Structure 1
Amino acid sequence: MKFGSLLAGEKEEQLENEKTIEKKLHEAAINGEIPILLQLIQENPQILTSKFSSIPNNPLHTAVLLGHLDFTKELLNRNLQMANSLNSHGSSALHLASAKGNLGIVKYLLLINPDICSVLDRDGRNPLHLAAIKGRVAVLGELLRSKPEVARELTGRGETCLHLCVKYNRFEALKVLVAFMKKDDQFVNWKDSDGNTILHVAVAKKQIENLQVINYLLANTRVEIGARNANGWTALDVLMQSPGDTRDLEIKQCLLHRSVSRSEQHTPFLPFDTELPENDTTRKQPKNHKHTDWLGRKRNALMIVASLLATVAFQAGLSPPGGVWQGDYEGIPNGTKAQKPHEAGQSIMAYTLPPAYNQYMIFNTIAFLASLSIILLQVSGLPLRRRRWMWTQMVTIWIAITAQTITYFITFINMTPDHVTDTVNYVIKVYVLGWLSLMGIVFIGNISRAMLYVLRKYGYVKEKERREPLVYVEEEENDEL
């Protein structure tokens, strides 16, 4: 029993000594203190071959994380195998140095063993992937020079280093990789586990930097604009399916313009009088692009205006001029009943100016419901892609704007004190006259276009023949409805 206890005690003491040495070595690595490292090695020559179970990173990983190049060299000179060791996250020293951008350490580690570039951590990423994520341009160049084939390795999600650059907005790193892999169209068009190319990822993010990325990819690579992901969506479909954004139109125009430009490179220019076969869609395709783009812009504009009008009308309905009563009132305490009792939350204007309040609420309700009608039509999913449907929605929004304007003038008139009514009346006459003139011009213009469309449709008026080039060019919108 005594002998067994003695052995157990010696083992515990040995473990404590190892932990103490590991702690001292870890502290030396944190501070980059080479003399302490040499002293510890002299005390225990086998210290660098231990497993360092008490800390997540061994001394090499710690020194690399903190950028101690000389300390790193001293460790590796004593034990080259440490370069292949992995920490608790499955990362090698090269993973850590690449992520931190420590170029000197990266170069030294690559001299010892370039094959470490292909080691994947627990997230399925190699050192090149981490350098791409962090945007370490200099490190990327060094890794590509040392081990070019590592650029084609994929992450656990099937992503290339190009996917990671786009995903994490590393534009400069992306340019380095595109220049290196420019002639490899298969790599540029590689799809991740969701079937997304780098163009899908760039369009989905819709950040300011990504508009620059999209332009760069379309101008400098052969990325396929029409490639479809696992959902069967192209990059343009991804844009249209995502929530609306102020950059949607810019990205859409960029994709359409580049798509047509590429098709032009493969489309021979023919004289205007050359007849095309019936199955040739060279002429029709660009026109359809223009038509779709025009309707898309109109729909987006109508949706934005309708949303703003609905918000203003809703707020005006909840907060009428003069506000609402803050308490109930049925009469004075002696029992005399009030002539006009009221309850908290009711409109003050409804009691003081009933006719004006009625007008105010009627026109405000018209503006609110007309705006909601536009929003409902836009999100209903109905096939409202014809010009006549767009014209109907434009008339509806015209009604909403007019009703909102009348609501404003009713409020303006009834909120103005009597001693400034002359000035107010003059201002109202001028602006109302100007507004009515503008509305009249818009109304006459739309009626004229509608009549012209009907006359052309039934053959009473012939449309002028126009020659269109076979290649797509940007032109003015058609005057037809």
Structure 2
Amino acid sequence: MEEMQRKLQEAAAEGNVTSLLALLQEDKLVLDRCGVTCPAETPLHIAAMLGHLRFTREILCRKPEWVGELDLRRSSPLQLATANGHLEVVKALLMVDADICLVKDRNGWNPLHVAVIKGRIDVLKELVQAKPDAIRTRGQRGETILHLCVKHCQLEALKFLVGIAIADTEFVNSEDDDGFTILHLAVADREIEALNYLISESPVQVNALNANGFTALDIVLAQGRRNIKDAEIQNTLREAGAISSKVMSSTMHGSDAIRPHKSTSTLKKRKSWRKKNWLEERRNTLMVVASLIATMAFQAGISPPIGNWQEDKQESLSGSHEAGRSIMADKMPKEFAFFVGYNTTSFLASISVIILLISGIPFKWRFFMWVLMIIMWIAIIATARTYIISISCLSSRRGERSSAEAGFGVAFYAVAGIVFTGHSTRLIRKLVTLARRSRARRFSRSPAISQANI
């Protein structure tokens, strides 16, 4: 049995039809047994991969159902023939079952995707003719076949596919899971030829936004003018009417001009994704800062300034003390009380934030995240005050203490002023933007109201 299977695989690898017929004369059920006992790679996979047309046809005549068999990588014989550019073998397989064009492999690609990635234009045309709907199949990350054309620098394939789907504006402007259109990818990869073709020959939208709210012009501006390509891309986009997202947000009805084809549900999903991303970033930042402050407060609590007494001492002229007790508590009881109070506040505030973050409570609203940030500000201020008290206790001169406290005051109020000014500016800008939009809506509705009254 194993010997027959080995001979059959050798015949497939050599494309030896004579050997195949001889094996069938010796055992008419050799192909049936192979379908049951052979590994996932059938003789048809081997023949299709190596481009043995006559052998492929002989197998298809006897076992046409093998055209849908998948190997360990979930690749069909059609995908293997496509990857190696065996056009005639592809035609023979498509005559048996064209629906195999819709089957994806382990990477989420169908035969048309493989043809684009490998640059097999002739094979791609044959596949599209056999199963046109297969061009709309998306990959694992939501990329269309047009995205793969740009990613793998397949300009001829891009021109062919855009020419087919040029009337379908929504498909040409499709986004992957990161919100990137084919124009975003062309700009990010500096594919100037693809960029020029898309702007001049396709219905691509030059001001579409990705998931981060960036236009194609934003991407190239972020890259800077590192070489001649960057400058050329910027000029090409500007000539086509591209603008940055900042300019777009300041214009009236900017969101409507950006994505006229997007449904309300899609825009809501995008907004929800940005909100979730913002919350996740703030959550991670708060966890790191809270952990750091809690560690510092714990260390300060068990090792206060000046140190601890090393031995017991009975009552004497200088007083008594116990081993392990804080020297600062005996020498400076008032300062020690403030030190313990501020340090405890810092420790409890940071621990509270850590417990809330790891508790699993879903903080879906920004309000709760702002509350946690306020708690962290309390912890930071208490930590700073603890530091000032420690420095004061370690300083033997009163002038040094005053200088430390003055330095802390200047630094703290300077930072607080910067933060307050920044947030106030953001709030004012938001209020002005809302006022402008509200006034624009009233103006846009006024003609319709006057016409209704007439």
Give the TM-score taking structure 1 as reference length.
0.48
Please report the TM-score for the alignment, with normalisation by the length of structure 2. Answer: 0.50
